[in-house]
Amino acid sequence: MAHLLVVESWVGSMSRLLPRALEEAGHHFTFLTRDLHHYLRSAPEGAAHPLLTARNVVTAPTNDVDELLPQVEQLHRVLRFDGVVTSCDYYLPTAARIAARLGLPGPSAEAMENACRKDATRRVLAAAGVPGPRFAVCADEAEAVVAARDIGYPLVVKPVDLCAGMFVRRVDEAEQLTAACRAMEAFPRNARGQRRAPHVLLEEFLRGPEVSVETVICRGVAHVVGVTDKSIGGAPSFVETGHMFPAALAPDELAAATGTAVRAGVALGLDDVVAHTEIKLTADGPRVVEVNPRPAGNRITELVRHVTGIDLAAACVDVALGREPDLRRRETALRSAAVGFLVPDAAGTLVSMEGADGVRDADGVLEAQFAEAGRTVEVADSNNAYIGHIMAGDATGLGARDRVETLLAEVRPLLVRS
């Protein structure tokens, strides 16, 4: 039995999968947060949040690393931690710095900072010759307008330090670029109260299907667990509308995508992490979209587990403890698993989900979750706007995506439009 320090968390699926992995392994944990109410608000009504199964819940200044480190040292003297982990991108570098300060296993803080900052990732990968889009890092809107002329439209505008596709936009001309820059400028702090970097990242618009490569990097060796097929919608935003594992790729495409992802991890110096690397399969070969040094979100981690038996949340715990993770594939009942999200295209108040009850009991359904009536709904412009999802599996082949799409078509959200 080990004692882990969990530093903040996403409030979505990983906030449930990580405590489950800890419990199943016989470990216990201390949960460190600056705002416990952030998690209490996300718990289902009448249910305790899984993070509250922690042996200790400690309030600490997690947004101020210099103030935080001495406090964690004092906690460590009393509670004795064996590893440090987080599922939230905004605290991955912090967790790495805590682990280094306490002499515990973990990736380097520099590697995590470079992977979590999209501008730094671009610079590191470009210097290492890892293929990606042409790009420019701009200090402000004026610089972005000039740089856009060099890259050429259409292009993608991104903040350098946000997640879930927030404020990522395709722009086709200067007026749209200006609007995108000003929208980012009006959002100076992220959801955790951290001040954002004001830089703007411009990237060449890449054409082709998108996949993600799920890897576990341990003691300098990258283990490829598999490749996930991704669906993107919501133009001009980039909203993930669904995923299937494994991706239906030809052997040469599979080798090219996984090889590129492994090269990206090496270039960034990532070690002792679970990584989720997004790749565009362009006509000129694979190009890195971004590297996320933590288990995949949006239920991908569960798709992997349903098909392979490999628990990436458990692997995340193992590498944080300096242990070799169990990545042996196990026979499961499924050959593919997919998830599809209900993405609202109109704003209003949710009245009901027609067809939801029938879908829950349909053949092959693994999960079916839907927003409750009364919820305020906005037009989706990021992965934070979903109003439900359906996950299904296929025992015979790669039919899970088609099954999910059929089921999604049977569900219709009814809104009172605002």
Best CATH choice for the domain 133-204 from the list 3.40.50.1000, 3.30.1490.20, 3.90.380.10, 3.40.30.10? 3.30.1490.20
Distance CA 225, CA 1 (A): 26
Question: What's the confidence (pLDDT) of residue 256?
Answer: 98
Average pLDDT on 279-288 reads 98
Average pLDDT on 52-73 reads 96
In the chain, ranges of CATH 3.30.470.20 domains? 207-332, 335-418
Token digits of residue 328: 């042996």
With beta carbons less than 8 A apart as the criterion, state whether 289 and 228 touch: no
Token digits of residue 175: 């007026």
Residue 70: which H helix or E strand, with range?
Answer: helix 65-79
Average pLDDT on 80-89 reads 96
The highest-level CATH class for domain 207-332 is: alpha beta
Tens digit of pLDDT for each residue in 251-266?
Answer: 999 999 999 999 999 9
pLDDT band, very low/low/confident/very high, at 146 (cuts 50, 70, 90): very high
Topology of domain 335-418, per CATH?
Answer: D-amino Acid Aminotransferase; Chain A, domain 1 (3.30.470)
The yes-or-no verdict on residue 45 having pLDDT over 70 is no
Question: What's the confidence (pLDDT) of residue 47?
Answer: 66
The yes-or-no verdict on residue 246 having pLDDT over 90 is yes
- DSSP SS3 for 158: strand
In the chain, ranges of CATH 3.30.1490.20 domains? 133-204
Q: What are the two backbone dihedrals, phi and then psi, of residue 138, each rounded to the nearest 5 degrees?
A: -120, 140
- DSSP SS3 for 288: strand
Question: Which residues lie below 8 Å from residue 215, measured CB to CB, with a gap of 6+?
Answer: 222, 223, 224, 225, 261, 262, 265, 274, 275, 277
pLDDT band, very low/low/confident/very high, at 50 (cuts 50, 70, 90): confident
Percent of all residues in the chain with a pLDDT value above 70, rounded to a whole number: 99
**What is the average pLDDT score of the chain?**
95
Percent of all residues in the chain with a pLDDT value above 90, rounded to a whole number: 92
Average pLDDT on 265-272 reads 98
Cα 97 to the center of its chain, rounded Å: 21
The yes-or-no verdict on residue 52 having pLDDT over 90 is no
Closest CA to 314 of 13, 11, 20, 7: 20
In the chain, ranges of CATH 3.40.50.20 domains? 3-104
Average pLDDT on 26-55 reads 85
pLDDT band, very low/low/confident/very high, at 43 (cuts 50, 70, 90): low
Token digits of residue 152: 């050429």
Question: What's the confidence (pLDDT) of residue 48?
Answer: 72
The yes-or-no verdict on residue 40 having pLDDT over 90 is no
DSSP β-ladder status, 365-370 and 273-282: unpaired
Distance CA 64, CA 69 (A): 9
Tens digit of pLDDT for each residue in 175-213?
Answer: 999 999 999 999 999 999 999 999 999 999 999 999 999
Distance CA 347, CA 20 (A): 35
Question: What's the confidence (pLDDT) of residue 139?
Answer: 95
CATH number listed for the domain at residues 3-104: 3.40.50.20
The yes-or-no verdict on residue 415 having pLDDT over 70 is yes
Question: What's the confidence (pLDDT) of residue 85?
Answer: 97
With beta carbons less than 8 A apart as the criterion, state whether 172 and 205 touch: no
pTM of the model: 0.96
Question: Which residues lie below 8 Å from residue 364, measured CB to CB, with a gap of 6+?
Answer: 392, 393, 394, 400, 403
Largest CA distance in the chain: 58
Question: What's the confidence (pLDDT) of residue 11?
Answer: 85
Strand arrangement of the beta sheet that strand 388-394 belongs to: 285-292, 273-282, 210-218, 221-233, 239-245, 336-341, 388-394, 365-370
Average pLDDT on 325-329 reads 97
Question: What's the confidence (pLDDT) of residue 331?
Answer: 95
Q: What angle do CA 340, 344, 350 make, to 5 degrees?
A: 110
The yes-or-no verdict on residue 269 having pLDDT over 60 is yes
